[in-house]
Amino acid sequence: MDKISIIVPCYNEEQALPEFYRAVSAAVEEIDGAECEFIFVDDGSRDHTPDILDSLACTDKRCRSISFSRNFGKEAAMYAGLQNAEGDYCVFMDADLQHPPALLKEMYRVVSTEGYDCCAGLREDRTGEKGVRTVLSRAFYKVIRKICKLDMGDGKGDFRMMNRAMADSVLELKEYNRYMKGIFSFVGFDTKWIPFHNVERTAGETKWSLRSLFRYAVEGILSFSSVPATLAGTTGALLVIAAIIIGMCSLLTGNGLTGIPLLVCLILLLNGIQMFFISIVGQYASKDYIESKNRPIYIVKKKRGF
């Protein structure tokens, strides 16, 4: 009999976990020919999430959990869950039930009978999200799709079931700065997308602020594209050429280098642009510095059910 590992990153999800467990347990009972295990990864929660996971591990032998020593981020939690999964198939789900448990049966059918390595959910809308966040998210995916040349479109998230071959390939990528959507696309494998409508969280509040989403977007771009660094050099060259042309035109027309206040503003502007692009190059250098330390992606404080 096949085994499905359901990997659930958790950060302050005490309100959502009981309903998530009930809904997913009911959904997997409808899957013929497969059993499941739950792997909850507590990403340094500050509420009663660890207590709930203790209770689940005691009452259901299918439930196992890992608690981090601090908050390492969702990407690290997903990686930890995958490392500890024993299933023939692995699926990532959010604890807030925005990933419909009803799709698990169809996902399993696709990966077990249709020859696909992965079956993923394609979110068709952003119901329940604020307008600003929706606009920024769509703009981000348009940019990253063009400069990274990987299949990372809007709505193509983490909710997916993959076979063991794809799971092992993801585990081979051990970089500290992780962007799982990019990693899924990078390893390849045949993926079938199943559309679903977004729903509001079953309980609690989202942990993703605009600030954290911006950091996540920058992480994705810097992890899978060198275009920003190339853009810095190109822009610098164009600025030098423009400065030469302006200077020559001023001299040829006999006006000389006048307009000192304007010149000062231009110098400040160009210096600002220069510093901006230097910061981009610095971001790449800092990431390489962090990777060279070879630090662990996460640190485990406690395991339950293993």
Mean pLDDT of 269-274: 68
Given a cut of 80, whether residue 153 has pLDDT beyond it is: no
| Environment class of 267 (CB within 10 Å of its CB; exposed 0-12, middle 13-18, buried 19+) | exposed
Given a cut of 90, whether residue 213 has pLDDT beyond it is: no
From 153, 166, 207, 201, select the one nearest 44 (Cα to Cα): 207
Given a cut of 50, whether residue 241 has pLDDT beyond it is: yes
Per-residue pLDDT at 8: 94
Q: Contact 97/27 with Cβ under 8 angstroms?
A: no
Of the two residues 106 and 256, the one the predictor is more confident about is 106
Cα separation, 191 vs 210, in Å, equals: 30
Of the two residues 62 and 274, the one the predictor is more confident about is 62
User: What one-character DSSP code corresponds to residue 16?
Assistant: T
Given a cut of 50, whether residue 42 has pLDDT beyond it is: yes
Given a cut of 60, whether residue 117 has pLDDT beyond it is: yes
Whether the model pTM is above 0.85: no
Lowest mean pLDDT among 136-150, 203-217, 266-280: 203-217
According to DSSP, the residues that pair with 9 across neighbouring strands are 41
Given a cut of 90, whether residue 1 has pLDDT beyond it is: no
Sheet with 191-196, side-by-side order of all strands: 191-196, 118-123, 156-163, 89-92, 2-10, 34-42, 63-68, 300-304
Given a cut of 60, whether residue 298 has pLDDT beyond it is: yes
Q: What is the CA radius of gyration of the chain?
A: 24
- How crowded is residue 226: how many other Cβ atoms within 10 Å of its Cβ? 11
Per-residue pLDDT at 261: 45
pLDDT category, 63, cuts 50, 70, 90?
Answer: very high
Whole-number Cα distances in Å, 147 to 158, 181, 226, 290? 21, 15, 8, 24
- What is the percent of the chain where pLDDT is above 90? 31
Per-residue pLDDT at 224: 54
Given a cut of 80, whether residue 260 has pLDDT beyond it is: no
Lowest mean pLDDT among 17-31, 35-49, 225-239, 289-303: 225-239
